[in-house]
A and B are shown apart, each in its own frame.
Chain A
Amino acid sequence: MRVVLAEDLFLLRDGLVRLLEAYGFTIVAAVESGPELAKALAELEPDVAVVDVRLPPSHTDEGLQCALAARRARPGLPVLVLSQHVEQLYARELLADGTGGVGYLLKDRVFDADQFIDAVRRVAAGGTAMDPQVISQLLSRRAQDRPLARLTPREVEVMELMAQGRSNGAIAAQLTVTERAVAKHTSNIFGKLELPVSDDDNRRVLAVLAYLDRG
């Protein structure tokens, strides 16, 4: 799988290159600035881009802006955005086009290599990878939400993992329950939140995220 990587700090860039290569990814470009990233995304057509939000020369959200621009030029271009901090505001912008193939994670998540690599693969395949912090922020804002209050604690757990973009199989493994049990929870959640049921994993994730971000 061909990856474009943008990270300005040498230590982190180097570490990410090693990590991704160890899991069999091909790094077609590892760049350190916004303009270089824009060029690489336009010319190299990677399978997935792993991008730091803050990049030189402006040291503002240049990486995020590059990623958003590249996705406007090539809708659905898989982008995994990494940052030292996660903001619902940025998550909303990444999800706005509703096409999926988006990830937004804290850099700390690299600590768990397996999960991180799983997130990269999921995004590359057109899925979603949202940081648990984004989800918990969304949930704490919806504390007054009545349909959400009707969910059982287990269902909330399942929904959190689903909103992060995990598949039923992964959720089942994490909660040590069967996939069938997860499927049942999922259909309960969709029923209680009055969301349209869909067989497509990714569409389900986006529906839940949209529900949580509403209002």
Chain B
Amino acid sequence: MNATTARAAAIAGAQGLALALMALTGSIILFVLTVVSLALVVAGVGVFTTPVVLRLVRAHADFRRRLAGQWGAEPIPARYRPLPRDARTGVTGQVERCVHMLRDPATWRDVQWLFVDLTAGAVVAVLGPGLFAQGLFGLLLVMGLWVPIVSAGGTHWFTFVPVDSWSTAGAAAMVGAGLIGIGIKVNPLLVRTHFRIAGSMLAPSRAELAQRIGRLTETRHDALDSSAAELRRIERDLHDGAQARLVAVGMNLSTVEALIERDPAQARELLAQARATSAEALVELRDLVRGIHPPVLAERGLGDGVKALALRLPLRTEVDVELSGRVDAPVESAAYFAVSEALANAVKHSGADRIWVDITHADGSLRIAVTDNGRGGASLTAGSGLSGVERRLGTFDGVLAVSSPVGGPTMVTMEIPCELF
């Protein structure tokens, strides 16, 4: 046995103790709270308490998921359905939130896990530190601890050894040393087993994975479709626009070559025309580029890209960006065009005179809200620009929600899971 194994075993022992404590406090309390709160749904009060309790449960489960990764076991993925961001306020919103959470299979997995954690999970976790503690107790017995114990209460059973003399205490010490030896061997395994149990309860089920694959296939098709359509549009624009104009310029220049001696006046006229045509080609190319990937976005990222976009709008638009880094280029581009579409909608249909754009990053998601003070009544019906945006964001597992009561205001919110770097 070397120092590293002993160290690993000691650490695993401490981890086991911590896990057992978490299971025997947090999991028990939360399990009881959940059951009580669910029972109270019938009485009505539960509708208000359940989302709160379930949020605590999620935090508790997430903490364990994180620990799994940090303490050397297989990381456990979390897959909760995103909460609707446009949920209404007041009682209806509360009911919506409650129903939404109860419909999420991940919620029920959490609850099952709580029960398993406070039983099997706790037992497995406490086994490691238990072996150490019992072993240590055996060693203490032989150091003389058996004398007061036996004189106070008669023969003391250490595991399977009846201790009543120095010799039996010696035997207990040997058993104790054995227990510590076993502990050193199995401790890391026990911690891993604990996380494996948690993982089997918390990880998404097969059916959900199948559903996820279905969703990915669908969004991938959408993405391929829309990028193919986009390429066709770009090809057509180039073909009928800049390309044709450059041909015209070339033709003009060769005519100029022929005319320059014979008819300088007409040659000069053609030259001017060639210059004008090439200027038009540039304008077209610039517009095309803006539609493919806006230059400010490339140069400065999402925040300034949207600010520059807002400066081109005829409405007063306030842009508030709180990003401490940049997001991946594809996400950045999708987010930009999503905001662009939302802004265009607001300008065209809302009748608003002010627009606010908020961009932040929190809890692993890019969050964008586009709000206007217009007349409301916007919707996500098929064929509208916003439903296209929704599909495009879907490729990134992003979601879009529209809250637009008649009379306004309209708020379009988007959320795209991504990292900042």
Contact = CB atoms under 8 A, between A and B. Distances in A.
Nearest to A138: B311
State which size class the interface on B falls in: 20 to 34
Contacts of B308: 87-90
Interface in B252-286: 275, 278-279, 282-283, 286
Contact of B299 (A54, A111, A141, A143): A54
Contacts of A108: 279, 282-283
Interface string B303-319: 01001100111101000
Contact of B296 (A59, A87, A137, A141): A87
B6 to A, nearest CB: 51
B282 A53 contact: no
Contacts of B311: 87-89, 137, 141
A176 interface: no
A60 interface: yes
A53 B316 CA distance: 27
Nearest to B317: A141
A140 B304 contact: no
Nearest to B276: A111
B289 interface: yes
A111 B278 contact: yes
B300 A60 contact: yes
A141 B298 contact: no
Given A87-B311, A137-B312, A141-B311, A53 B299 contact: yes
Contact of B307 (A83, A89, A141, A215): A89
A149 to B, nearest CB: 14
Given A84-B295, A89-B311, A61 B300 contact: yes
Contacts of A90: 296, 308
Nearest to B295: A85
Nearest to B283: A108
Interface string A81-103: 00111011110000000000000
B290 interface: yes
A215 B314 CA distance: 12
A141 B300 contact: no
A60 B314 contact: no
Interface in B295-346: 295-296, 298-300, 304, 307-308, 311-314, 316
Contacts of A107: 282
- Do most interface residues of chain B lie in helix, strand or loop, or is the interface mixed? helix
A83 B290 CA distance: 14
Given A54-B299, A60-B300, A61-B300, A85 B290 contact: yes
Contacts of A137: 311-312
A140 B313 CA distance: 8
Contact of A89 (B275, B279, B283, B304): B304
Given A84-B295, A87-B296, A111 B312 contact: no
Contacts of A89: 296, 304, 307-308, 311
B171 to A, nearest CB: 74
Given A85-B289, A85-B290, A89-B296, A143 B316 contact: no
A107 B289 CA distance: 15
B290 A88 contact: no
A84 B286 contact: yes
Contact of A111 (B275, B295, B298, B307): B275
B235 to A, nearest CB: 21
A84 B307 CA distance: 19
Contacts of B278: 111
Interface in A42-101: 53-54, 59-61, 83-85, 87-90
A129 B412 CA distance: 39
B289 A141 contact: no
Given A60-B299, A89-B307, A111-B279, A140 B314 contact: yes
A53 B295 CA distance: 11
Contacts of A140: 314
Nearest to A61: B299
A200 B16 CA distance: 79
Contacts of B304: 89
Given A84-B286, A111-B279, 10 more contacts: A54-B295, A59-B298, A61-B300, A87-B296, A88-B312, A89-B304, A89-B308, A89-B311, A108-B279, A137-B312
Interface of A: 53-54, 59-61, 83-85, 87-90, 107-108, 111, 137, 140-141, 143, 215
21 contacts: A54-B295, A54-B299, A59-B298, A60-B298, A60-B299, A84-B289, A85-B290, A85-B296, A87-B296, A87-B308, A87-B311, A89-B307, A89-B308, A90-B296, A108-B279, A111-B275, A111-B279, A137-B311, A141-B312, A143-B314, A215-B316
Nearest 7 CB-CB pairings of A with B? A61-B299, A88-B311, A89-B308, A60-B299, A85-B295, A87-B308, A108-B282
